[in-house]
Amino acid sequence: MPTKRELVLDGAIELLGTRGLRALTHRAVDESASMPSGSASNYFRTREALLTGVAERLEERDYTDWAALSRVPAPTEIDHLVAGLTLFARHAVHTDRTRTLARYALFLEAQTNPVLLESMRRSHERLLAWAATILGAFDADATTAKILADYLDGLVMHQLFNPTADFDPTQAMDRTVRALLG
């Protein structure tokens, strides 16, 4: 069961992903999270603290989802890796579209907010280290992990901003993964 702090952050994520960064106020987060007035401010005194908290919560939820979607902590066959990455991409643009849009809103905001930018960079570095560990089963190095993560980010972003009704990244993902991993 989520803590009150997590509920506040999840409300902020919902707000960012559905109404955008301009709508993100402490009061609006309280309403989005169905929490008493002042809850968001109690946990996050400033907007910057709230944005940083949202970035950290997104990272936490991403790791949880990857483990659940892949059903295997570390795939050892390329077919399983492709299936997991494809499922993650579909999930990001359909089931979890709101959270993905919230993340992209933070990416843009981070360009003018040094504290948020640093938080998101650290998060991205942890993600890349985690991906490199998973790809270690395929003798892939850190550069390969970065290329694959960048490809996945681009694939998801393209589908969000230029959607196709029949989105199926399986063939492209398979081709990309095999080109990178042999």
Q: Which of 96, 99, 94 is nearest to 163 (CA)?
A: 94
Residue 127 confidence class, pLDDT cut points 50, 70, 90 = confident
Full DSSP string of 22-45? GG--HHHHHHHTT--TTHHHHH-S
Amino acid identity, position 166: D
* Cα 46 to Cα 170: distance, rounded to the nearest angstrom: 42
Give 73's pLDDT tier (boundaries 50, 70, 90). low
Q: Where do the domains of the chain lie?
A: 52-181
**Residue 109 · residue 51 · CB < 8 Å:** yes
What global pTM score does this model have?
A: 0.89
91-103 burial string, b = 16+ CB within 10 Å, else e?
bbbeebbebbbbb
Do the Cβ atoms of 131 and 145 come closer than 8 Å? yes
pLDDT band at 75 (very low <50, low <70, confident <90, very high): confident
Which CATH superfamily hosts domain 52-181? Tetracycline Repressor, domain 2 (1.10.357.10)
Q: What is the pLDDT of residue 22?
A: 96
Average pLDDT over residues 6-19: 98
